[in-house]
Chain A
Amino acid sequence: QVENVKLLDRYTNRKAANGTLYLTATHLIYVDASAEVRKETWILHHHIAAVEKLPLTTAGCPLLIHCKNFHVAHFVIGQERDCHEVYTSLLKLSQPVKPEDLYAFSYNPKMSKDNREIGWKLIDLKVDYQRMGIPNDYWEITDANKDYEVCNTYPPEIVVPRAANKATVIGSSRFRSRGRIPVLSYLYKENNAAICRCSQPLSGFSARCLEDEQMLQAIREANPGSPFMYVVDTRPKLNAMANRAAGKGYENEDNYDNIRFKFIGIENIHVMRNSLQKLLEVCETKSPSMSDFLTGLENSGWLRHIKAVMDAGVFLAKAVKDEKASVLVHCSDGWDRTAQVCSLAGLLLDPFYRTFKGFMVLIEKEWIAMGHKFSHRCGHLDGDPKEVSPVFTQFIECVWQLMQQFPCTFEFNERFLLEIHDHVYSCQFGNFLGTCHKEREDLKIFEKTHSLWPFLLQKKQEFRNPLYRGFTAYKELQPNTLPFSFQFWCGMYNRFDKGMHPKQCMLDHLLSCVSQKMKLEDNASELE
């Protein structure tokens, strides 16, 4: 506990707040003493991305805390010794080494064991496959990966074409980076076109694999409506070619029957990490001039990357819907760009994924089950900083950009996205811990921690989109991807800078409007 700490506002030069800093096992809490209202700022240790001690000033020792949810807190602590202690404690607390130290294992929401289990069962991927009509004549759910024999980063149950027998699956897995064979991600029921995902083939300069070729053939033939299928490599062509030297690479169109191969050119995790870094630097400049802001935004390239991801999603959706062709998507390992693109395409094609439940299913399916390495990408544990990358953040931003274009098609609002984004980093719930299903089982996540989804559903009222027109109002979405359509997301990157936002919140207003309406309707019916 340190008293007489000042919290500076990032943008205004107003008088700094004066208060007390508390350090608990899980949170850093700042209580503002100067205001009439008790104002608290809570910072979860897991949210802390970096702590920085700035040079001593006359007012005291400044301490700058950067959070993963883009909160930046600037404290000034009276005594240097205190500051140093806070600094070292935070450094230790914010980077746990063992997974058992994560908040999720100590978090106790006073919930019975049964409820916890029900919570984990809330999202069942089998039900989603059923919804798509699987199993059917062409596709089956297999337990080929029961003991993680085929691929240890895939879930035990995967969907493959009926025509692909076990030997094909095993053979194909040997020819794919980390054994991530082509599996079904989404089946568009209306024309049997499917979106499948995998990792890059180990083709090098000339290697080929008969089973893998059979596998692709099986996928293509599972869609009788189209004589060909697309194979989409989401990497820039140069990167894919460079991978050939390492014995990896991309599919050779001559070896596979009737495939159409296409590069899309989304940059890799390192480029994305740097881009976000640059974007945040722009956000952090104190009152940048208009030119600085626009140049900074341009230089960061962030919106360009968002557009690339969106374009890829749109390409997939169009191939499936308009050309009735199945698509196989991969990048390098098939867990970053592939997850982004597949989940976006699902969102564009299927109104179910635009509901609360559906969005949870989508994240569980494309991200969690298929092994997006949340733990590494979000830096949950002290690890390689080069593995950190805002891949999931980009997906969330793409969804937000879609919301701007289609304000009536999503059941949830911006706050829902922000809440999910918060919890991906908070480690408060088990869903996003670890890197794949196997690891989560090893960590006993399902017994020891809670699932996030029931908690979000409880707060449904707050996350509703008042303009939602219902499930059946819109089917496939065709977003516009001209540069004009992409906006800087102030609500995300400057969320905690209160002064930055429109002074009046339309969302609150509309929400209250809707609840008012419901109340009135109740009253009316009661009176009648």
Chain B
Amino acid sequence: QVEQVKLLDRFSTSNKSLTGTLYLTATHLLFIDSSQRETWILHHHIAAVEKLPLTTSGCPLVIQCKNFRIVHFVVPRERDCHDIYNSLLQLSRTAQYDELYAFSYNPKQNASEQVKGWQLIDLAEEYKRMGVPNANWQLSDANRDYKICETYPRELYVPRTASKPIIVGSSKFRSKGRFPVLSYYHKEKEAAICRCSQPLSGFSARCLEDEHMLQAISKANPSNRFMYVMDTRPKLNAMANRAAGKGYENEDNYSNIRFQFVGIENIHVMRSSLQKLLEVSGTKGLSVNDFLSGLESSGWLRHIKAVLDAALFLVKAIAVESASVLVHCSDGWDRTSQVCSLGALLLDSYYRTIKGFMVLIEKDWISFGHKFSDRCCQLDGDPKEISPVFTQFLESVWNLTEQFPQAFEYNEAFLLQIHEHVHSCQFGNFLGNCQKEREELKFKEKTYSLWPFLLDEQKKYQNPLYNPDFSPKLTLLEPNTVSFNFKFWRNMYHQFDRSMHPRQSVLDLIMNMSEQNKQLEKDIKELEAKIKRRNGQSDAVLMKEPLHSAPPAPMALKTPPCFKKEQPLMPVNDSVRTIEGSSTPDNRYSEFMEELSKAEPAVVSLEYGVARMTC
């Protein structure tokens, strides 16, 4: 406990600061200012602590968090500051899993609730929803004991024609044994998204089983003869990997594949890109030009665009060409997860619901072994393994919600909350690097699942504009990926800088409005029912009167909540003509047409006599 600590605002030019007391608990750093407002910082969220040179007012301490909060304390005494600094360093770096917050976190749930919470998301159920297993795809028990691939889940779906020897053979030809398996099955088109890691092809090696495997996948799709193989890496990187005995598929060896590079950069590029972005957004007194050029040189939005472009390519292959797609990168757990999950999100409206999004994360990120522990630095480890791959995924989703404000059941707060907990280590879901590790550490018994907690607070995460009705008709979202459409995500990177946000929150207002509408509708229904009842009692002559007075009501009820009568995504051909362009306050088109048709076929001479054209 240190008193008389000052908290500085990052951006305000006036050097106003809050004075308060700093407490260090086992899990949190707590700052209480003089007006009793509390700022809690979880130790696991701390990415870096920095002691700045001593100033006259005290010893400045800057804490950078993984959720992009930056706090700037000034501690009056240097010794105190040094103590805090050392303890924070120790507390923020955990060496072992069982020291993480999740193992001490106790939300007062009993054991059965805990089990139920973990069962909330059932992937077998999810595959059933997609329509798998079916005539072409089956559940394989090959990896039941993690013998073939340690980083995959136990239950994997593969083409029926892929026998066990093929699976084993293929896994030996793939980096880390991550052989091609099903990620998403598109029922209507019978096309599949499959994922794997890079082949160990080197310059010329080939593997018959792997070739069979790909053939099996393409045959499992009766509607298209060929399949796409997407390597999400830049071509140069993939070629360099050949020297290390890895690489990419040779189109000559595999029959009927179309090979495509997509060019998403690797985790190291992404890490330094984010670093640059944070430097820009953290600068005090930034000019517009500095901001824009900083945004550009960070390349962050370029990378986000690349990820979305890749997903769009994937989606088009499936929806337009009905072709199956096999996606991989190097190990198939970073870029592959991004692209597969975004692809599924664009294809299937289920993933745009709150529950569906949880399923999507469980499936493509958690179960397929995105290395959350390494990428988010949950334990003290190699800083080169850290990378904002999952953050990019969330940002891509946010960009989609900006383009399709009615297509998602969840709102921005939901994405931010998930991002928060990926780093918080408060729940077991994101701990560890793969399912095997999670089972060995008995996470399911010792920690809690995040999802039931989010569902309990569902109201906070609902998008008031969500319109579930157009989704089934128009399942595919086709985002526009022109550069103009990508924006700096202020609420993510400046989530905690209060002064930075729009001064007014629209969300609550819209929420109220839709609530009111629902209430009104209910009232009307009740009133109508009342009138009916009263009419039933009175005689037939009187009955006509009130019915007359109430005709607008049934009409309004036929077009129930405004959420439902929204037009679909594409302009429909319901209007006879659409006009765009310069102002045409009155529709004088017909007049012009008359004028013009009279003049035909001779020369059209116009008022000013300048325009003369032959037909």
Contacts and interface: CB of A to CB of B under 8 A. Distances in A.
Contact of A1 (B296, B553, B576, B613): B613
Contact of A516 (B301, B527, B562): B562
A477, A499, A527, most chain B CB atoms within 10 A:
A527
Interface residues on B, range: 35 or more
A61 to B, nearest CB: 14
B502 A523 contact: no
A406 B506 contact: no
Contact of B480 (A47, A307, A422, A500): A500
Contacts of B589: 29, 40
Contact of B502 (A298, A304, A404, A526): A404
A520 B613 contact: no
A15 interface: no
A3 B263 CA distance: 44
Interface in B193-225: none
A516 B562 CA distance: 6
Interface stretch (A198-206, A213-221, A315-323, A483-491): A483-491
Contact of A484 (B281, B402, B520, B561): B281
Contacts of B479: 503
Contact of B293 (A86, A298, A521, A528): A298
B483 interface: yes
Contacts of B528: 527
Contacts of A24: 592, 595-596, 606
Interface in A284-301: 287-295, 297-298, 301
A155 B499 CA distance: 42
Interface in B537-585: 549-550, 552-553, 556, 561-563, 565-566, 569, 573, 575-585
Contacts of B524: 520, 523-524, 527
Nearest to B614: A82
Interface in A25-52: 25, 27, 29, 36-44, 47
B504 A406 contact: yes
A82 B584 CA distance: 26
B550 A527 contact: yes
A42 B523 CA distance: 46
A38 B577 contact: yes
Counting chain A CB atoms within 10 Å of each CB, the highest count among B289, B292, B406, B465 belongs to: B292
A253 B424 CA distance: 59
A13 interface: no
Contact of A37 (B566, B578, B615): B578
Contacts of A93: 608, 610-611
Contact of A509 (B406, B569, B604): B406
Contact of B577 (A39, A409, A516): A39
A188 interface: no
A27 B520 CA distance: 47
Nearest to B559: A516
B125 interface: no
A298 B297 CA distance: 12
Contacts of A460: none
Given A1-B615, A295-B296, A520-B524, A408 B504 contact: yes
A303 B291 CA distance: 11
A356 B88 CA distance: 55
B531 A499 contact: no
A487 B295 CA distance: 13
A466 B509 CA distance: 10
Contact of A520 (B281, B520, B607): B520
Contacts of A516: 517, 556, 561-562
B487 to A, nearest CB: 7
Given A42-B581, A527-B527, A520 B556 contact: yes
B407 A517 contact: no
A67 B582 contact: yes
A246 interface: no
Given A500-B480, A517-B517, A298 B552 contact: no
A426 interface: yes
A408 B510 CA distance: 11
Contact of A23 (B295, B563, B611, B615): B611
Interface string A510-528: 1011101101111110111
A43 B578 contact: no
A42 B295 contact: no
A405 B293 contact: no
Given A41-B580, A423-B583, A480-B499, A487 B610 contact: no
Given A291-B299, A502-B402, A519-B556, A526 B573 contact: no
Contacts, number: 264
Contact of A519 (B478, B483, B552, B563): B552
A490 B484 contact: yes
Contacts of B521: 520
B451 interface: no
B292 A297 contact: yes
B439 interface: no
B290 interface: yes
A55 interface: no
Contact of A523 (B477, B514, B552): B552
A505 to B, nearest CB: 8
Given A24-B592, A298-B292, A527-B553, A496 B580 contact: yes
A144 interface: no
Interface in B491-544: 494, 499-500, 502-504, 506, 509-510, 513-514, 516-517, 520-521, 523-524, 527-528, 531
A280 interface: no
Contacts of B550: 523, 526-527
Nearest to B574: A37
Contacts of A41: 579-581
Contacts of A25: 606-608
B320 to A, nearest CB: 14
Contacts of A487: 487
Contacts of A506: 405-406, 465
A40 B288 contact: no
A266 to B, nearest CB: 13
B484 A426 contact: no
A509 to B, nearest CB: 6
A484 B613 contact: no
Given A294-B293, A407-B502, A503-B404, A1 B604 contact: yes
Contacts of B596: 1, 22, 24
B405 A504 contact: yes
Contacts of A304: 287-289
Contact of B582 (A11, A27, A483, A512): A27
Contacts of A92: 608, 610
Most-contacted residue by chain A among B286, B583, B608 (CB, 10 A): B583
B582 A44 contact: yes
B305 interface: yes
B574 to A, nearest CB: 9
B490 interface: yes
Contacts of B500: 480, 482, 484-485
Interface in A153-209: none
B302 interface: yes
Interface string A225-242: 000000000000000000
A14 B563 CA distance: 32
B585 A109 contact: yes
A85 interface: yes
A513 B405 contact: no
B403 interface: yes
A405 B499 CA distance: 11
11 contacts: A23-B611, A85-B611, A294-B295, A294-B301, A409-B504, A480-B503, A499-B482, A500-B480, A500-B485, A502-B405, A509-B465
Given A478-B503, A496-B580, 16 more contacts: A40-B577, A40-B578, A47-B582, A89-B612, A287-B482, A289-B483, A293-B483, A405-B504, A406-B504, A484-B488, A484-B490, A484-B500, A487-B487, A502-B485, A503-B479, A513-B510
Closest 6 CB pairs of A and B: A294-B296, A44-B582, A298-B292, A483-B291, A38-B577, A290-B302
